[in-house]
Amino acid sequence: MSHIQRLATFAEIEADFIERAHALVWCNAATVDQQQRPRSRVLHPIWEGATGWITTRRNSPKIGHLQTNPHLSLAYVAEPFKPVYVECRATWNGDFATRQRIWALLRATPEPLGFDPVLTWGDIADPENGLLQLTPWRIEVSDFSGPPVTKIWQSG
């Protein structure tokens, strides 16, 4: 019997995914640069259901990479026997009202997931500040600590 469960809806994986992603906080994120070489870094997304948000600046290397190839691969692996993988499309969101809402969410969320973006990014009104909006097309949540179980949701 296969240990892989293919799920029809995001709702079937949402609770497991959000619990793990928010507990682990930090993930490895890979982009592809302009010469088609992979580049990894550590990022700090916050998730609202199936939409992720990353505070960043317009001139960061990851923004340049994503302009060439908008796909981002995330791996939450602080617990090696319980990894979470997210394959998504990342788009720049410079909408000020959205930035205000997400910055307020980050300030209202307890640490370590929550933080005050002003301490890292400065003035919220700075036009260089914005958000990466993550739209997953595939999420995988696995548990290999006992009998192996892998749950995979993939959008249409």
Give CA separation, 90 vs 15, 45, 78, in Å.
22, 12, 23
CATH number at 146 reads: 2.30.110.10
The token pair at 150 is 């892998």
Domain that holds residue 25: 4-154
Show pLDDT as tens, one digit a residue, over the chain (156 residues).
469 999 999 999 999 999 999 999 999 999 998 899 999 999 999 999 999 999 999 888 888 899 999 999 999 998 899 999 999 999 999 899 999 999 999 999 999 999 999 999 999 999 999 999 999 999 999 999 999 999 999 997
Say if residues 34 and 65 touch (Cβ distance below 8 Å).
Answer: yes
Query: Each residue of 63-79: pLDDT tens digit?
Result: 889 999 999 999 999 88
Domain count, the chain: 1
Give CA separation, 23 vs 46, 84, 116, 118, 141, in Å.
11, 11, 18, 22, 14
Instruction: Please give the model's pTM, rounded to 2 decimal places.
Output: 0.93
